[in-house]
Amino acid sequence: MQKRIAVLGGGSWGTAVAMSLAAKGMAVSLWDIDESHTRAMIRDRENKKFLPGAPFPPSLTVYTEEAEAVEGSEVVIFAVPAQFFRSALETAKPLLNREMIIVNVAKGIETGSLCRLSEIAASLIPDNRYVVVSGPSHAEEVCKGMPTTLVAASEDRAAAELIQDLFISDVLRVYTNDDVTGVELGGALKNIIALGAGICDGLGYGDNAKAALMTRGLAEIKRLGTAMGADPMTFSGLSGIGDLIVTCTSMHSRNRRCGIMIGQGTETQEAIESVGMVVEGIYTCEAAYEMAKKYGVEMPIVTGIYQILNENKNAGEAVRELMTRKRKHEAEPDFITRNSL
């Protein structure tokens, strides 16, 4: 399959996606809003800022003008932080035509509106087919050709299968799914739990605590997702437990690294600046905290992390409160009455 692909966003993941597609011989265009960063990539033929030591394949071309990158593309991939997806799509909209398939590879929920990214796309470009690509995938490994699995989700099965074929290779296996809500929520909410995993590490806790956090964190993700109409089985897949495992356990995870520093006593803003990249879990936590109230679901871990990040709650005290909550049965129904928080 020879297609012209545009990737908008030259961060670590956007670059890794562009490199992976170009490695198959496809004509891939890469553009980033930061012109100095873009020119550095043109000069160096690699992304030294985020993925040093990974040279670009010959068929990957970096452009300084967004219009040049998008022109003639059949698929346009957005790889910008979730909080900038709306503005990025609004800027690109005049360059898009309805035949282009729009792919989003970011993970997050827009604060304020509480919109999933597919909902933003539906409001701005309703005539375009939309696919979300998610799953356990560190850019640092994908750009080196290490085996990785992803999921492509869309309400349009043909579009999901087209992107599946586009991405798939001998080192990148892609599955399809029609549960866009579940795939987006799994990819977004796991970043909050990864922050919590890092906080546990920073506090000096061990594997027992992290396993408990991940397991009960997944229960909260599933609880909210089910209330929002997602298929519960999605959270047992790549964008659920798969992404949760990789993000909570790896030092590639910017959310976990940020959490470690917070657990060690670093102020949240200082920790974010030290990471040097967007820490999506910070924003998603705010959104999820509001969504839990909106949908009337209990999310004590998310609430505790929100209080640590936004209300200066002591991390150790937050853990103690979680451990001393009212006892309950592990398999209690996921739905609870509204206003129970």
pLDDT surpassing 60 at residue 81: yes
What mean pLDDT do residues 277-296 have?
Answer: 96
pLDDT-derived band at 152 (thresholds 50, 70, 90) equals: very high
Give Cα 174 to chain centroid, integer Å: 16
pLDDT-derived band at 211 (thresholds 50, 70, 90) equals: very high
End-to-end CA distance of the chain: 51
Question: Using CA atoms, how far apart are residues 136 and 245, in angstroms rounded to an integer?
Answer: 8
Other CB atoms closer than 10 Å to residue 67's CB: what's the count? 11
pTM for this prediction? 0.94
Sequence-ordered strand ranges (E) for the chain: 4-8, 27-31, 60-63, 75-78, 101-104, 130-134, 148-153, 172-177
Question: Using CA atoms, how far apart are residues 146 and 139, in angstroms rounded to an integer?
Answer: 10
pLDDT digit string, tens, across residues 302-325: 999 999 999 999 999 999 999 999
Question: Using CA atoms, how far apart are residues 234 and 164, in angstroms rounded to an integer?
Answer: 17
pLDDT-derived band at 332 (thresholds 50, 70, 90) equals: low
**CATH-assigned architecture of domain 4-178:** 3-Layer(aba) Sandwich (3.40)
Asked if 116 and 88 touch (Cβ cutoff 8 Å), the reply is no
Q: In CATH, what class is 188-323? A: mainly alpha
Other CB atoms closer than 10 Å to residue 7's CB: what's the count? 30
Residues 6+ apart with CB under 8 A from 323: none
Other CB atoms closer than 10 Å to residue 320's CB: what's the count? 11
pLDDT surpassing 60 at residue 162: yes
Residues 6+ apart with CB under 8 A from 81: 11, 106, 108, 278, 280
Q: Which of 83, 92, 103 is nearest to 32 (CA)?
A: 92
- The SS3 of residue 325 is coil
What mean pLDDT do residues 84-89 have?
Answer: 98
Q: How many CA atoms lie within 13 A of 4 on its CB side?
A: 10
| pLDDT top residue among 333 and 165 | 165
Q: Which of 190, 222, 293, 313 is catalytic?
A: 190
- DSSP designation for 46: B
Average pLDDT for the chain: 95
Question: Which residue's structure tokens are 């160096």?
Answer: 44
pLDDT surpassing 60 at residue 341: no
Asked if 83 and 171 touch (Cβ cutoff 8 Å), the reply is no
pLDDT of residue 339: 38
Q: Which of 57, 60, 56, 119 is nearest to 85 (CA)?
A: 119
Lay out the sheet containing 4-8: strands in order across.
Answer: 60-63, 27-31, 4-8, 75-78, 101-104, 130-134, 148-153, 172-177
pLDDT of residue 333: 60
Question: Using CA atoms, how far apart are residues 2 and 91, in angstroms rounded to an integer?
Answer: 27
pLDDT digit string, tens, across residues 103-132: 999 999 999 999 999 999 999 999 999 999
What mean pLDDT do residues 280-287 have?
Answer: 96
Residue 190 annotated as catalytic: yes
Domain range summary for the chain, segments of one domain joined by +: 4-178, 188-323
Residues 6+ apart with CB under 8 A from 86: 110, 120, 124
Other CB atoms closer than 10 Å to residue 25's CB: what's the count? 12
